[in-house]
Amino acid sequence: MKISVGGFTVNYTDEGSGEVLVILQGWGTHAELYASLSARLSHIMRVIVPDLPGFGQTREPPEPWCADDYADFVLDFLSALKISRAYLLGHSNGGRITMKLVTRPSGISVPKIVLMDSSGIVPAKTPGQKLSLRLYKAAKALLSTRIGTRLFPGTLDRLREKRGSADYKAASPLMRATMVKLVNEDFRTIMPMITQPTLLIWGDKDSVTPISDARIMEKLIPDAGIVTVSGAGHYSFLDRPEHVGRVLEYFLGGSQ
């Protein structure tokens, strides 16, 4: 399905009826990745999955966005669909957006949230990582000058490629700048402001957002509990669909 939102033609899926659940996608994914999860939950509620700007079939934002910008977009999207009450499920980067949405005035009623293998914790850097970052910044400053560019053509691009994650390397320049904005914001400061009952679903083999992040979130979010998905990684809903589906049905279905 398509809808116009703030100058974007937004691709989204919409299944089921009743109470609304909005699934906010992880970085680099698309709405169809959540099709099996959406199909299962659509038996108990209406499930909407938008392609956020820069992902799937929705074009990139006009400039690098932060989590607040994405939260603004989601509010505009819900307004376009005339939705004023919705449960939220944020996977990975979608967790950042979810936390932003529920910790600031929005006009949207959110009874419960789910953070699934969520981002939002900026890990402390080791002494070696701090030294590496300082050296990189020094090299970047030198290579960005006119003389550095002339003497060492292409070196700065190679350094960036070497340091970047797979997601960073796969992204366009604009989305790389967006990623930098997102990953450098630590959400620990706003987690105590989350008032909704919060379900944390986490793969115990998640190497992108480790289970230790979930334990931090459980301590900081006043009404939060963890369900650990044994043997699952960063996409726990794909690795253990039956288990995750049952947990979500219980947590969300009990509210109908």
Task: Give the pLDDT confidence of 80-136 residue by residue, as tens digits.
Answer: 999 999 999 999 999 999 999 999 998 999 999 999 999 999 976 445 544 444 554
**Band (255; pLDDT cuts 50, 70, 90):** very low
3 pLDDT above the threshold of 60: yes
- Higher pLDDT: 41 or 151? It is 41
Residues 37 and 244: beta-carbon distance below 8 Å: yes
Q: What is the pLDDT of residues 177-210, one digit of tens each?
A: 999 999 999 999 999 999 999 999 999 999 999 9
Long-range contacts of 100-104 (CB under 8 A, 24+ apart): 100/67, 100/68, 100/70, 100/71, 100/190, 101/71, 101/74, 101/75, 102/194, 102/195, 102/196, 103/190, 103/193, 103/194, 104/71
pLDDT surpassing 70 at residue 141? no
Query: What is the structure's pLDDT at 157?
Result: 66
**Pairwise pLDDT comparison (159 vs 5), residue with the higher score:** 5
pLDDT score of 249: 97
| Residue 149: per-residue pLDDT | 74
For the segment 40-62, the average pLDDT, to the nearest whole number, is 97
Q: Which residue has the higher pLDDT, 73 or 143?
A: 73
Residue with the bigger pLDDT between 129 and 38: it is: 38
Q: What local confidence, expressed as pLDDT, does residue 133 receive?
A: 42
In terms of pLDDT, which residue wins out, 167 or 35? 35
Look over the chain and give the mean of its residue pLDDT values, rounded to a whole number.
90
Average pLDDT, integer, range 31-54:
98
Q: pTM of the predicted model, to two decimals?
A: 0.86
Please determine, for residue 19, whether its predicted confidence score (pLDDT) is greater than 50: yes
Q: Is the pLDDT of residue 61 over 60?
A: yes
What is 2-122+186-253's CATH number, 3.40.50.1820, 1.10.3720.10, 2.40.50.140, 2.60.40.10?
3.40.50.1820
Domain boundaries, the chain: 2-122+186-253, 127-180
pLDDT at 2 (0 to 100): 97
Cα distances from 117 to residues 25, 89, 114, 138, 168, in angstroms, run 11, 11, 10, 34, 19
On the question of pLDDT at 254 being above 90, the answer is: no
pLDDT reported for residue 147: 75
